[in-house]
Structure 1
Amino acid sequence: MVDAQQVRFIIGVIGNVISFGLFAAPAKTFWRIFKKKSVEEFSYVPYVATVMNCMLWVFYGLPVVHKDSILVSTINGVGLVIELFYVGVYLLYCGQKKNARRNIVSFLALEVVAVVGIVLITLFAIKNEFAKQTFVGVICDVFNIAMYGAPSLAIAKVVKTKSVEYMPFLLSLVCFVNAAIWTSYALIYKIDYYVLASNGMGTLLALSQLIVYFMYYKSTPKEKKPSEVEISASGTDRV
């Protein structure tokens, strides 16, 4: 008979597969950027934010912070490599974006410093296991919710232009499924309140993005319907 712990593990594996698809989803956008040698109107913010998000969740899932959460670390480790590749491509073709290259490098440097600081505080200043989970988990949730909400930056443009050309439908859809899966994972066996909080919020945010997409899809000019542009932002929780 399958027990709750085994069910949780199976759902976690499914979550890893879906999360990998979510990390890989922007590949179509970056192929477009590569062909046009331009980042056009695509924003670097979601990708840079996801780098921070992945680093934090890799640390959260390690036994030194949270036991029985190695599946959280594995997928975010993979995601970190993928997101850094996206940022590298963006840096290569963002020449027409004023100050973009400088801003990206500055943000990445700050993220590394911040994560190193969080790791040092967790390992050497906090002794209680619950306190470690709370400290790292709350920070992870802040960035995770920001990552889930990043595609919502396109909503104002959609409403203003009555066009979903830069509204990432596929990203929002996969984010919705991903968040729902990880919400289920967090509720089974031992409730993980930090995975639950951000993914529960992520489910609602992704759902709102899908609603806006369907509201304005029909009003998008035919030549601008997102056949080539399905992804304009990287979204994550990958956890």
Structure 2
Amino acid sequence: MVELLLIVGVIGNIISVLMFLSPVKTFWRIVKNRSTEEFESLAYICTLLNSSLWTYYGIIKPGSYLVATVNGFGVVVETVYVFLFLLCAPPFQKGKTAILFGILNVGFLAAVLCVTYLLLNGEMRINATGYMASGLNIVMYGSPLAGMKRVVMTKSVEYMPFFLSFFFFLNGGIWTFYAVLAQDWFLGVPNVIGFLLGALQLFLYAIYKNRRPSKDKGWITQRLLPSTSDHNTIVEP
């Protein structure tokens, strides 16, 4: 069982790394054009917070080093994404991104670390961190619903890249399997949701990939790629 858990965890790490790296093409476009165009930073900021919480969870929970390592990698990658966004965004977006980063990735994260580390011990600390990380993960896994709505309305998958959706689906599935083996329901519940939403994204992709996009004047363009990534926010294990 221990060997199987290790194998599944390593496979999960590989898939998660690929998912973290899936927005590279988007950021190459941003850097090349020196503009964030209509892309939004919220997905990357939330993914950075999520990765940070799962890294902390993996550190404090015995035997969860695979969760800590892959999310530690996610923290580095998402920090680079946010930095590039700040570098290339117009003044208003730059200010909004900086404020969100300060509130979520500095203020909120510092509060969580201080409260759980100074006021809680043992299982209470692990459980409190697990509840917060799992809850945030569920919220982030729900964010593709807006992107899927756009796909249906515009009949276009332009802003729902196949590989991001594919790794989103694989990531949810492999970490659900890992959670069952490890009996870690904090890890399992959000990834079951991610697996199902990933499957739905692939289903929509199969339906609309060859259709010509329709113009919907009522749809406000909001390019959001992920984390999990349209987030398709990159969502970590």
TM-score normalised over the length of structure 2: 0.87
User: Which residue matches 1:7?
Assistant: 4
CA shift digits 1:50-101 (9 cap, x unpaired): 0100110110001xx3110011111111111111111111122221xx7321
User: Which residue matches 2:141?
Assistant: 148
| Structure 2, unpaired ranges of 5+ | 214-223, 229-233
CA apart distance, 1:138:
1.1
User: 1 CA distance for matches of 2:35 and 2:28?
Assistant: 11
User: Which residue matches 2:92?
Assistant: 99
Q: Choose the corresponding residue for 1:32, options 25, 29, 32.
A: 29
User: Which residue matches 1:187?
Assistant: 180
CA shift digits 1:196-218 (9 cap, x unpaired): 01111111121222222222222
Letter in 2 for 1:123: Y
User: 1 CA distance for matches of 2:56 and 2:75?
Assistant: 12
Query: Where in structure 2 are the equivalents of 1:129-208 lying within 5 Å?
Result: 129-188=122-181, 190-208=182-200
User: Which residue matches 1:212?
Assistant: 204
User: 2 CA distance for matches of 1:14 and 1:102?
Assistant: 38
Letter in 2 for 1:209: Q
User: 2 CA distance for matches of 1:164 and 1:8?
Assistant: 36
User: 2 CA distance for matches of 1:40 and 1:164?
Assistant: 18
User: 2 CA distance for matches of 1:142 and 1:5?
Assistant: 27
- Give the fraction of aligned pairs with identical amino acids, expressed as a percent: 37
CA shift digits 1:165-217 (9 cap, x unpaired): 111221111011011111111111x3001000111111112122222222222
CA contact (8 A) 1:53 1:144 kept: yes
User: 2 CA distance for matches of 1:199 and 1:193?
Assistant: 10
CA contact (8 A) 1:46 1:151 kept: no
User: Which residue matches 2:51?
Assistant: 54
User: 1:238 aligns to what SS in structure 2?
Assistant: coil
CA apart distance, 1:149:
3.1
TM-score normalised over the length of structure 1: 0.86
Q: Choose the corresponding residue for 1:66, options 57, 61, 68.
A: 61
User: 1:108 aligns to what SS in structure 2?
Assistant: helix
User: Which residue matches 1:87?
Assistant: 82
CA contact (8 A) 2:43 2:225 kept: no
CA contact (8 A) 1:164 1:216 kept: yes
User: Which residue matches 1:118?
Assistant: 112
Q: Count how many residue pairs are aligned between Structure 1 and Structure 2.
A: 221
User: 2:210 aligns to what SS in structure 1?
Assistant: coil
CA contact (8 A) 1:39 1:94 kept: yes
User: Which residue matches 1:224?
Assistant: none
- The farther-off stretch of 201-210 and 52-61 is 201-210
